[in-house]
């Protein structure tokens, strides 16, 4: 069974408090999404394997540790997931970036796919799927399905705010996937919005409302 991890580092919580505020500007919102993504990435990659190598410092030879194992891929769910990409690439500049375009039908709340482009060697990569919001879990679960259909195997999901319904769905549909959120909120409202949440993440990142 996958694990649900709540990353409640004080810096993440502080930034999240500003993100939730309806008076936060589009510019500040976008910057905060990137900063939170970077901080979450730092925490969510704690278990990456390392190996010992030797380097020559200006003073002596030293045994040091470097990342070992699989290379990384980041897969944002369009459109709101795009806001998290740069923050992650700051920490993992060598990661390849795949894209999955999904929107949630406002009536049925079911995810509708409109784009999918993944790195060719996705099956050999450690994959982080990113989306600020995990509401019903329909979008995240469908995105993980697509990645698995393309051969992806080692997948973790990183969302800024989750709802219990969404986390349960993803863990039920994908028992091999660990989830990382900065906060688990109370519930969904009748329109499928997370309560208290932060509103529509895509609109707040891109200023479309």
Catalytic residues: 104, 108, 200, 203
By beta-carbon proximity to ligand URA, the closer residue of 11 and 195 is 195
Task: Assess contact for 205 and 148: CB atoms under 8 A.
Answer: no
- Told to check if 78 binds ligand URA by CB under 6 A, we report no
- Told to check if 103 binds ligand URA by CB under 6 A, we report no
Crossing angle (nearest 10°) for helices 138-149 and 164-173? 20
Q: How far is the CB of 181 from ligand URA (least distance, A)?
A: 13
Task: Assess contact for 117 and 150: CB atoms under 8 A.
Answer: no
Residues that bind ligand PRP (CB under 6 A): 77, 79-80, 103-104, 109, 111, 131-140, 166, 192, 200-202
Q: Which of 93, 98, 168 is nearest to 130 (CA)?
A: 98
- Told to check if 82 binds ligand URA by CB under 6 A, we report no
Q: How far is the CB of 118 from ligand PRP (least distance, A)?
A: 17
What's 122's DSSP letter?
Answer: G
> Cβ neighbours of residue 23 under 8 Å, at least 6 residues apart?
none
Task: Assess contact for 189 and 161: CB atoms under 8 A.
Answer: no
CA distance 162 to 171: 12
Q: How far is the CB of 82 from ligand PRP (least distance, A)?
A: 8
Tell which positions 105-164 bind ligand URA, by CB under 6 A. Answer: 133, 135
Instruction: Look at residue 139 and give the partner it binds from ligand URA, ligand PRP, none, a contact being a CB closer than 5 to 8 Å depending on partner kind.
Output: ligand PRP
Among 44, 147, 179, 194, binds ligand URA (CB under 6 A): 194
């Amino acid at each position: 069974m996958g694990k649900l991890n709540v990353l409640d580092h004080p810096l993440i919580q502080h930034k999240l408090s500003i993100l939730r505020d309806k008076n936060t500007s589009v510019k500040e919102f976008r910057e905060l999404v990137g900063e939170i993504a970077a901080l979450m990435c730092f925490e969510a990659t704690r278990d990456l394997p390392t190996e010992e190598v030797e380097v020559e410092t200006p003073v002596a030879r030293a045994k040091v540790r470097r990342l070992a194992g699989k290379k990384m891929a980041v897969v944002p769910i369009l459109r709101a997931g795009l806001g998290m990409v740069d923050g992650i690439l700051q920490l993992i500049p060598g990661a390849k970036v795949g894209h999955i375009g999904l929107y949630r039908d406002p009536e049925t709340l079911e995810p509708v796919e409109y784009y999918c482009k993944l790195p060719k060697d996705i099956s050999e990569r450690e994959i982080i799927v990113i989306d600020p919001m995990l509401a019903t879990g329909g979008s995240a679960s469908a995105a993980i399905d697509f990645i698995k259909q393309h051969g992806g195997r080692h997948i973790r999901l990183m969302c800024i705010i989750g709802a219990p319904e969404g986390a349960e769905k993803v863990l039920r549909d994908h028992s091999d996937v660990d989830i990382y959120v900065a906060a688990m909120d109370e519930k969904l409202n009748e329109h499928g919005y997370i309560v208290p949440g932060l509103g529509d993440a895509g609109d707040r990142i891109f200023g479309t409302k």
